[in-house]
């Protein structure tokens, strides 16, 4: 049996990368590979992780072989793990790259592995150059890419950034569906579970709150909607609502500048149209938030790709995205949602458009488009590379 190893976050670490890697491991297992995940015993020093905790409160998955062993700041550990994998001789190593800080650690591990002259290494590059720039980004990335045989990216922007460092084989694929959070829940039941009003028009901002994701733009848009008080005849129900009736649920943990958002909310006078659930959303809660929402709003000011988009596809929730990075490539305008400019007026106008059109209009497009987002496509691409 062929062996595959995934290097990257997994339980007991939490977050989108961990969920992705665990789902990818299951697909490799379904493809007939003896599969393991090598994850971090220490992922980030505190100054790089502004959230409350790096660790999941969910039980460990019982169907996966997860080895917690990589220390991102200990060079002796890098050599030890690299030598262990060199002797293991997996046929494929899939390594995640999302932050240049990881370049020295992962680059050193993979240099040791490649000494066995057997293992092929494919990198899934989430980012090559990060959203928030730091000293060392370019040399760390240049060091990391040298032992890699091939790359997978999930946006054109990351592919362009990658080509600044290497011309090795690379292929762009769409981010697969996050189908590991369970099935959708009836909207009324989901809102009851979360303590949200059953009949209110509700939009959702989901995920870690970082500046590039544009929550401040969305808050300004909520003020536009509240002050405008425009009459909207909803496409699904033919009921007329006011734009001031629309409620925004913010579900995700602040990474920094929390006070600035609270000051903005107070200044705009929009606390009454917001529901702030700004602690980490556990895997078991995800389905309730996505199922409770009429629409998912991604008002990013810059982006490569987004893990929220495949989540919305899985739960069949129409989206608003901004025309930055690769977001609009994943969300055909007028088919599965709408594409706005990253400013408050445009976001507000397009939220109104979503309600006027109605979620039902977008369902055929969502169901057709989501067929592209297969984990088998990703593992086949990795094997072919």
Question: pLDDT tens digits for 280-293?
Answer: 788 889 999 999 99
Q: Could you identify the residue written with the tokens 């000051």?
A: 263
Least confident of 7-11, 131-135, 379-383: 131-135
Share of the chain above pLDDT 90, in %: 76
CA distance 125 to 123: 6
Cα radius of gyration rounded to whole Å, the chain: 21
User: Which letter does DSSP use for residue 281 in this model?
Assistant: P
Least confident of 8-17, 31-40, 53-62, 342-351: 53-62
pLDDT of residue 329: 84
With a cut of 90, say whether residue 371 has pLDDT above it. Answer: no
187-370 shares the fold of 3-172:
yes
Q: Are 376 and 27 in contact (CB under 8 A)?
A: yes
Write down the CATH number for the domain with range 187-370: 3.40.50.2000
Which band of pLDDT confidence, cut at 50, 70 and 90, is reported for residue 365?
very high
Taken in order 146, 150, 151, 157, the sign of the CA dihedral is positive
Which band of pLDDT confidence, cut at 50, 70 and 90, is reported for residue 130?
confident
CB atoms < 10 A from the CB of 139, how many?
12
Helix ranges, the chain (H) = 16-30, 75-88, 103-113, 137-145, 156-162, 187-194, 215-228, 258-268, 283-292, 308-315, 327-330, 344-357, 359-369, 375-384
308 vs 130, 190, 320, CA distance in Å?
18, 18, 11
Which band of pLDDT confidence, cut at 50, 70 and 90, is reported for residue 305?
low
pTM (two decimals): 0.76
Q: Could you identify the residue written with the tokens 């606390």?
A: 271
Q: What is the mean pLDDT of residues 78-91?
A: 98
pLDDT of residue 378: 94
Structural tokens at position 315: 């739960």
Least confident of 31-40, 52-61, 143-152, 318-327: 52-61
With a cut of 80, say whether residue 306 has pLDDT above it. Answer: no
Q: Which long-range contacts (CB under 8 A, 24 or more apart) does 45-53 make?
A: 45/72, 45/73, 48/99, 48/101, 50/255, 50/256, 51/208, 51/253, 51/254, 51/255, 51/280, 52/253, 52/279, 52/280, 53/14, 53/280
pLDDT of residue 58: 75
15 vs 140, 159, 257, 272, CA distance in Å?
23, 24, 20, 29
Which band of pLDDT confidence, cut at 50, 70 and 90, is reported for residue 181?
confident
pLDDT in tens, 240-255: 999 999 999 999 988 7
Share of the chain above pLDDT 70, in %: 96
Q: What is the mean pLDDT of residues 356-365?
A: 96
pLDDT of residue 232: 94
Q: What is the mean pLDDT of residues 170-176?
A: 91
97 Ramachandran zone, left/alpha/beta (phi>0; psi -120 to 50): beta
Least confident of 8-22, 48-62, 341-355: 48-62
With a cut of 60, say whether residue 146 has pLDDT above it. Answer: yes
CATH fit for domain 3-172, picks 3.40.50.11930, 3.30.70.260, 3.20.20.120, 3.40.50.2300 = 3.40.50.11930
With a cut of 90, say whether residue 46 has pLDDT above it. Answer: no
CA distance 216 to 223: 11
With a cut of 70, say whether residue 375 has pLDDT above it. Answer: yes
pLDDT of residue 97: 96
The better pLDDT of the pair 383, 302 is held by 383
pLDDT of residue 312: 94
Which band of pLDDT confidence, cut at 50, 70 and 90, is reported for residue 14?
confident
Q: Where are the domains of the chain?
A: 3-172, 187-370
With a cut of 90, say whether residue 303 has pLDDT above it. Answer: no
CA distance 365 to 356: 17
Q: What is the mean pLDDT of residues 184-207?
A: 96
pLDDT of residue 175: 85
CA distance 370 to 150: 26
Which band of pLDDT confidence, cut at 50, 70 and 90, is reported for residue 370?
confident
Picking from 24, 22, 94, the residue whose alpha carbon sits closest to that of residue 374 is 24
């Amino acid at each position: 049996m062929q062996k595959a190893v995934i290097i990257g976050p997994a339980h007991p670490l939490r977050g989108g990368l961990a969920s992705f890697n665990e789902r990818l491991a299951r697909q490799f297992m379904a493809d007939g590979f003896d599969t393991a995940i090598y994850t971090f015993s220490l992922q980030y020093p505190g100054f790089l992780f502004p959230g409350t905790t790096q660790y999941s409160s969910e039980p460990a998955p019982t169907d996966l072989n997860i080895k917690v062993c990589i220390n991102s700041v200990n060079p002796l550990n890098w050599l030890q793990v690299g030598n262990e994998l060199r002797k293991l001789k997996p046929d494929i190593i899939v390594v995640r790259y999302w932050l240049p800080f990881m370049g020295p650690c992962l680059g050193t591990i993979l240099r040791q592995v490649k000494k066995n002259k057997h293992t092929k290494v494919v990198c899934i590059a989430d980012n090559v150059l990060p959203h928030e720039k730091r000293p060392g980004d370019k040399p760390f990335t240049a060091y990391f890419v040298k032992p890699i045989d091939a790359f997978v990216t999930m946006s054109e922007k990351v592919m362009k950034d990658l080509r600044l460092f290497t011309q090795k084989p690379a292929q762009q694929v769409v981010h697969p569906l996050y189908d590991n959070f369970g099935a959708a829940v009836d909207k009324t039941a989901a809102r009851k579970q979360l303590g949200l009003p059953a009949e209110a028009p509700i939009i959702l901002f989901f995920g870690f709150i970082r500046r590039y994701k544009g929550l401040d733009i969305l808050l300004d848009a909520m003020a536009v909607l509240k002050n405008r008080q425009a009459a909207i005849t909803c496409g699904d129900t033919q009921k007329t609502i006011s734009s001031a009736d629309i409620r925004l649920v913010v579900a995700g943990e602040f990474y920094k500048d929390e006070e600035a958002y609270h000051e903005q909310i107070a200044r705009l006078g929009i606390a009454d149209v917001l529901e702030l659930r700004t602690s980490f959303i556990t895997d078991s809660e995800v389905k309730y938030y996505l199922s409770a929402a009429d629409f998912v709003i991604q008002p990013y000011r810059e982006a490569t790709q987004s893990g929220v988009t495949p989540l919305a596809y899985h739960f069949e929730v129409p989206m608003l995205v901004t025309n930055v990075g690769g977001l609009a490539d994943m969300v055909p305008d007028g088919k599965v949602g709408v594409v706005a400019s990253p400013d408050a007026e445009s976001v507000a106008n397009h939220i109104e458009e979503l309600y006027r059109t109605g979620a039902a209009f977008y369902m055929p497009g969502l169901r057709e488009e989501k067929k592209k987002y297969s984990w088998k496509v990703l593992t086949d691409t990795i094997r072919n590379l």
